[in-house]
Structure 1
Amino acid sequence: MIAWWQIILLTLYAGFQIMDELHWYSSAGSAVFSGFITGLIMGDMATGLYIGGSMQLTILGVGTFGGASRIDANSGTLIATAFAVSSGMDPEQALAVLGVPVAAILVYTDIAGRFANTFFGHMCDADVEKMNWGAYNVHYWLGAVSWMLSRMLPVFLALAFGQPVVEAITAALNGDFAWLGAGLTVAGGALPAVGFAILLRYLPVKKHIAYLILGFVIAALLGTLFTNVAGVAGDVATAAAATETAINGGDYNSLSMLTIALIGFALAYIYYVQNKAQAAAPAAAAAVEGDDDDEL
């Protein structure tokens, strides 16, 4: 169960994170930070960071332009983390069943907050014309309150009254509908790939394909390196013995041929593009000189 003080703290944070996203930009209004804070309050930061990181990757290529509304990934992360910890739900299931749907539904409360903010904005305009600065300050902060309530109210209602529903969903997904729960777990794990796909859709991938390949390979290699280092760090004696064996003629783990081929292709492509540009430069300069001679 979610304690009353946890509900209060999470509700207050829901209001704070939207104001941070609009004004202060301290990164508290991000899905990763939302998962961290919610996990800290609920007593399970690992789950919070997992859900927050997954949600952050899911919306990696999603942006809002002008007055457009977008899904509220921060509140979705908050709700998914809170119920995943309190109900024992699998984090990937919580992301797919609660996080993404809640984030999508809160688009409507975002629109309501924007409408209310517009109302108070007109009141601020009237106060400026009348030079009534005291009323202006009040109406300005009421506009901020409308933004905060657009997150705080749905989060409070979900945390205070949604526990039985979430527990029933969890029991069903772990019981008669285990097949559906397994499918949603797979969907939750695949959601970050959607975020990457959206991001790559807007990036100049064709122009910089070599750097994309290098970045992917280097990230994979560093992930393997850090995993091995973490394992070795657990036992210094074993690491020393392994090092001595390697120095005295032990076998080294070699890179796969696919890794070497990808690195070679990326470097060769970069070399080709750079030399193509250098070869085209003298020709362009000669063409310009020829035009100048014609004019003379």
Structure 2
Amino acid sequence: MIGIAQIILLSLLAAFTVVCGQNWWQTANQPVFVGMMAGIIMGDPVTGLFIGGSMQLTVLGIGTFGGSSHIDANSGAVIATAFSVALDMEPTQALAAIAVPVAAILTTVDVLGRFCNTFFQHRIDAMIENDDYKGIERNYLYGIVPWALSRALPVGLALGFGQGVVNQLMALLNGPLAWLGTGLTVAGAVLPAVGFAILLRYLPVRENWHYLILGFVVTILFNYLFNNVKAIGGAVATSVDGFTGNFIGLPMLGIALVGVFVAVSHYKTNAVKAASPDPFASEDDEDEL
């Protein structure tokens, strides 16, 4: 069962993340972070990270432009994590049966939140004519209320009154509709690959196909090396008394620093290209620019 305190905290988490998404600190407005926090609130951060990370990969290639709405992956991760932990539901099954459908349904709530904010926008337009700067600041902050409620209310209602429905759903998926439950589990495991496929549709793969091959080969080599080193460590640990070496942990900090190096190198290369004038550009071209 999900306690009242947990429902309140999860509802506030959903409200906090959507407000963060409308400001410059958007790090918290990511499914992997939301899933982790939901898992901590429910007492199982591993399940939260799995569901949040899977939702992050699923929506990896989905972008929004202008005022367009998108599926609410954050709220889907919160609700799926809560039910998965509370009802001992398979995470991949919760991902496909709860997280994705909830995220899609809450698209309408996102539209409603944007619509409610037009009330404050029109008030600000009128205050601009009167140079009412204090009123503009107040109404700007008032806009936080409909945004926060657009996520807090659905999440709170779903967690408070949806446990019976999810229990019945689990009974069906593990009973008469076991074939469907198995299919949803498989679909949940495949969803991250769908996100990668969508992302590859947007990336300039044809112009940079060599980087794609390099990344694939490096991943295979590191995976092969890691598995063999782990096997050697396991064999040594079983044959040598008192052996305490760790052959399982990956140096995540080192991997992150390699990513920082690649990002900085790419940024500097582009900065140099942008700052360097084209020696072959004619004066007519410069005038046109």
Q: What TM-score do the two structures reach when normalised by structure 2?
A: 0.78
C-alpha change, 1:24 and 1:227, in structure 2 (3 Å) is: farther
What corresponds to 2:192 in structure 1? Answer: 192
CA distance in 1, matches of 2:139, 2:126: 10
- 1:128 positional shift: 2.3
Secondary structure of residue in 2 paired with 1:23: coil
What corresponds to 1:112 in structure 2? Answer: 112
C-alpha change, 1:232 and 1:116, in structure 2 (3 Å) is: farther
CA deviations over 1:192-221 (Å, ceiling 9, x no partner): 111111111111112222221110121132
Q: 1:232 touches 1:238 (CA, 8 Å); kept in 2? A: no
- 1:64 positional shift: 0.3
Residue type matched to 1:75 in 2?
S
What corresponds to 1:62 in structure 2? Answer: 62
Secondary structure of residue in 1 paired with 2:65: coil
What corresponds to 2:77 in structure 1? Answer: 77
Q: Structure 1: 5+ residue runs without aligned partners?
A: 242-284, 286-296
Q: 1:233 touches 1:239 (CA, 8 Å); kept in 2? A: no
Alignment of 1:33-44 (within 5 A): 33-44=33-44
What corresponds to 1:216 in structure 2? Answer: 216
Residue type matched to 1:173 in 2?
L
Say what the alpha-carbon RMSD is for the aligned residues: 2.1
What corresponds to 2:179 in structure 1? Answer: 179
C-alpha change, 1:158 and 1:131, in structure 2 (3 Å) is: same
CA distance in 2, matches of 1:82, 1:227: 33
CA distance in 2, matches of 1:236, 1:131: 76
Residue type matched to 2:92 in 1?
E
Which protein shows a greater Rg? 1
What corresponds to 1:272 in structure 2? Answer: none
CA distance in 1, matches of 2:100, 2:230: 33
What corresponds to 2:87 in structure 1? Answer: 87
- 1:25 positional shift: 2.1
Secondary structure of residue in 2 paired with 1:69: coil
C-alpha change, 1:231 and 1:3, in structure 2 (3 Å) is: farther
- 1:190 positional shift: 1.0
CA distance in 1, matches of 2:207, 2:128: 50
Q: What TM-score do the two structures reach when normalised by structure 1?
A: 0.77
- 1:235 positional shift: 7.2
What corresponds to 2:201 in structure 1? Answer: 201
What corresponds to 2:98 in structure 1? Answer: 98
Residue type matched to 2:130 in 1?
K
Higher helix share: 1
Residue type matched to 1:39 in 2?
G
- Give the aligned length: 242
CA distance in 2, matches of 1:219, 1:95: 26
CA distance in 2, matches of 1:93, 1:198: 22
- 1:135 positional shift: 2.9
